[in-house]
Structure 1
Amino acid sequence: MSILIMGTGYVGITTAIMFAELGIQVTGFDSNAAKIALLNQSHLPFYERGMEPLLQRHLQEQTIRFVQDEQAAIEEHAIIFLCVGTPSNSDGSANLFAIQQASEWIGKYMREQTLVVIKSTVPVGVDERVSEWIASKQTRPIPFDVVVNPEFLREGSAVADALAPDRIVVGSDSEEAAQRLLSLYEKLDCPIIVTNPKAAIMIKYASNAFLATKISFINELARLCDGLEIDISEIAYGIGLDPRIGAMFLKAGIGYGGSCFPKDVDALLHTANSNRKSLTIIEHAAKVNRTQPLYALDVWEKVMPSAFKKATVAVLGLSFKPHTDDLREAPSLVVISELLSRQAKVRVHDPIAVLPVHFRALGVQQADTIGETLQGADAVILCTEWPEYREIDWLPMKPLLNGHIVFDGRNALDGRSLIQSGYDYYGIGSH
């Protein structure tokens, strides 16, 4: 059996490696020639812990190949996964250009009955549009099925999530098509949900919106705890012990980012508005997240001897979370922009992620080591809880710093230890 993955971004590559690990022959297609060349040289176009060695092995074993010829790729496969990007438009809606193009290519070049699987995150009803796009380019009637199969991957642990999923969701109006898809997953042991396409899509959006709301809930509660001089970490621990609530996504910080939560929340809100419905809880969760980095900086600036103006600030962490180089919607970028607007001098560090060029043009420097980043800094802001930062021995770092103020934007550091070492420590809702 052989399948085609259209789109070699984060979801596409992870899906390809997962199926190769399950013993299925995989072809990856992308119209980006540079990306295909990079992949065929055994290199990922992004960083994901533990993925590149798997890519190298499957290329060597010839269980994965990457091509740029859409016609040959489609003609050779009867099972096609759509894993192309659906970024946000300016109004929050999902941009469907890539998925429309891929669908039209399928209609134009398919030669036999085909199962088209939508793995990309798309709004409710797009499965019907995919069917229309495919049919519009057919030169003769060839049967096909369109099935929704959303992904639930976490950046930084994508391979593990793919090979040991907490559920598989299939949305199809055809039981035969659903079973054909599920046969690809037969080696995986997890709950399986078979429903209609609309419900499958909504499960994906609802999952991300709920997790985003949970983060914003604890962040907004942290603001109250600041005023009442209560440690939000104790509150999070106390409520997280309730199995109905759970401890995950209850760590206060400077907000969520990445390629999924912000985009999917905006898309869900756009869908609601288009249907004249109001999702007020999710709307407020998004607002809290947008303002959380600014709230943190406002609180922290009050304890700076002369505010942030002309201060040198060391920012630790650029990526939106550890173990990825993804800067999409990263709170660190909001923090850096705001520090610059408050006339601070900024120096940054990240183990993997690279500072965007436009920040370099504004005078922001990216240092190669933590020590270089801290040299002469008046304050330190932790934006990403990389293990390297959690393991810093802060005592010998003191002579490097001009000021001994540490702002923990992820409540990830040992505040008591820092205070004992002579630092002024401030977290989010932390006392």
Structure 2
Amino acid sequence: MGRATGTAAPNTPSGMFRGLGLVATTALVVGNMIGSGIYVIPSSLAETAGPLGMVAWAINAAGYLCLTAVFADLGGAYPVSGGLQAFARRAFGDLVGLEVGFLYWLCAVIGNAAFLTAFVGYLAVLWPAAGDPWTAFAVSQALLWALTLTNAIGVRAGGAVQVVTVICKLAPLVILSVALWPMASLDNLEPFAPKGWGSLLPAVSLVSWLFVGMESVTVPAEEIVGAGRTIRKSVYIGFLMTSAVYLLVLGSLSLAVPAELLAKSASPLADVAAHHFGPTAATLVTVGALVSVAGILNGWVLVTSRMAHATARDGLGPRALARLHPRFGTPTRALVLTAVLSGALVGLYFSGSMLEIYNFIALLSTATALVAIGAACAAQLVLMRREPDRFTPQQRRRGRWTASVGLAVVALMIAGSGATIVALTAGCLLLPLPYYLVALRRRADAPAP
């Protein structure tokens, strides 16, 4: 299996294999956006803003459409591994490239630990023994390392898992949403803004993290067949598919279930399924949640390791992380490092004493990703002016607006996360500086070739 994975596509100059086609990259976009959030957010959104939350969804969809255009244009113009890090480095130099690569990698490492804990949380519904901290830890580690091994034996293996899990995760969401439409009533939209229109901004911030992940497809660019063209198509297709699923789920729940009842549910989709269609439906929704979380974890394991590899390959990280497996062409050392760190964070979570601290840090991961996304928007503005031949005239005209709106959207979402998260995100920007100064000094002291 490993040999077939490695030889099925031609080598790139970097030694990686192009094993991801349009279907796999689209699945990567959809799978890295749709995870555990859609199974929880409807309840939080109903509690925060009531039916007004649908307006928050529309605002996020419009804002992320602009960001989708940014990454489609950048991914098409610069189809190199690293994505956001590569764009920022080309526009602003090594320091900004290092900061963006580190922040996005940090976001993904923390996020992977959160996905693991969400998985065992859902599993405990079907298997109560999974609620035991030691059992939960063992299960989470087994899932993490199984997906790490899958991605280590070849990019096509990871892509195949992503395609299967996306199909399996979308099916219960769509079926449940369609089944709820006969129960829809406009009366459930009253009052439309029970907490007032001032609740719209918190609702926008709450929904925003449902859309993070669309940009991740640019990270493994050198492993994508027809990289530039495929990235452009998959970003748009994946974003539109995800937005349609979100609208279908949130719309059906808002119309079929009163907001005050939805707000009281810790697992709204499973509870609604159980109430209207019985325990079997609730079980199917829970299984869908497990597949959904496993799928998003698989996608982010792939992306996290590729970001670490690309940053190291560009001379901005430890050289060991830039090495590829001689047979499979995958960054196995970067995969192992990120798995170890994510697994360790899961250990802190299940220890209990670190629960509140870890939950707070998990919120920080979204803000760090948004900073990296904002840097990519700024990079497009610079690169369109500096290297106009990389972009079509239409892209240059549109890009000025989409990148500017994207920056505004990112700033709005970060501001909505609160002063403490903003301050901690700024603190994270300081973490790579010692390494940068050491690496820069070594580079300056190195003899000229």
With normalisation by structure 1, the TM-score equals 0.24
With normalisation by structure 2, the TM-score equals 0.23
Higher strand fraction (1 or 2): 1
Higher relative contact order (CA 8 A, sep 6+): 2
Q: Which one has a bigger Cα radius of gyration?
A: 1
Higher helix fraction (1 or 2): 2
